[in-house]
Chain A
Amino acid sequence: KQEVTQIPAALSVPEGENLVLNCSFTDSAIYNLQWFRQDPGKGLTSLLLIQSSQREQTSGRLNASLDKSSGRSTLYIAASQPGDSATYLCADLSGESGGYNKLIFGAGTRLAVHP
């Protein structure tokens, strides 16, 4: 059974720092990987999706990588801003079964970027 762990659970940094958020999986047979952002009391916003044939994806100041051999993914945030403050969730999309993909989430990393 796949389990997803995110480290650290919480992070507080000054504005401008480069950050690395970590995600690890007990089962390295990862189908695809999706990173989300959740603001307090809000839904999830998709940030990056890494398909099974890819190793990384980039969007603006965000870069996510996936190392299947070690069962790890990292989300890199460059030049952090107060607006980046949110909870970041990684999720493994388990292999197809009956035509759907099941998301297995980590507990999230709560990020606070202060001015």
Chain B
Amino acid sequence: SQTIHQWPATLVQPVGSPLSLECTVEGTSNPNLYWYRQAAGRGLQLLFYSVGIGQISSEVPQNLSASRPQDRQFILSSKKLLLSDSGFYLCAWSRPRESGYTFGSGTRLTVV
């Protein structure tokens, strides 16, 4: 069976510090991978998606970047965090050309 791991679960970082959130998927190959953000009181917003190694697409301009160094690894990064980067970050995967998403457990990021 497939599983998705996301870490850390919570993170408190000062403004201007770097960020690295990691997501890995097990039990499948060549998954589509996604990063979503859920800001307080707001809906889920797609940040990045990837259909293969090194292939990253961004949905919205922002202070964040994403990378996919391996088939089942997806990393969300920032060089300098802003207060507005605070939120709940969710990684997800789906099979290419098939329906249905599976989400990770999320990372609560608080920038102080």
| Chain A residues in the interface with B (C-beta under 8 A) | 31-32, 34, 36, 41-46, 49, 51, 89, 91, 93, 96, 98-103, 105-108
Closest to A32 in B: B99
Cβ distance A100 to chain B, nearest Cβ, rounded Å: 5
Known: A49-B100, A100-B49. A106 touches B105 (CB 8 A): no
Contact B99 A93 (CB under 8 A): yes
Distance, CA A45 to CA B105, complexed state (A): 9
By size class, the interface of chain B is 20 to 34
A100 in complex: contacting residue of B88, B96, B106, CB < 8 Å: B96
Question: Which A residues are CB-close (under 8 A) to B32?
Answer: 99-101
* Residue pair B99, A108 in contact (C-beta under 8 Å): no
- Chain A residues with Cβ below 8 Å from B96 are 99-100
A-side contacts of B34, CB under 8 Å: 103
| Complex partner residue of A103 from B42, B51, B101, B108, CB under 8 angstroms | B101
Distance of A37 Cα from B46 Cα, bound (Å)? 18
Residues of A within 8 A of B46 (CB): 102-103
Pair A101/B106 contact, Cβ less than 8 Å: no
* A36 vs B108: C-alpha distance when bound (angstroms): 19
Give complex CA distance A30, B101 in Å. 16
Query: For residue A102, which residues in chain B have a CB less than 8 angstroms away from its CB?
Result: 46, 49
Contacts of B90 in A (CB 8 A): 43-44
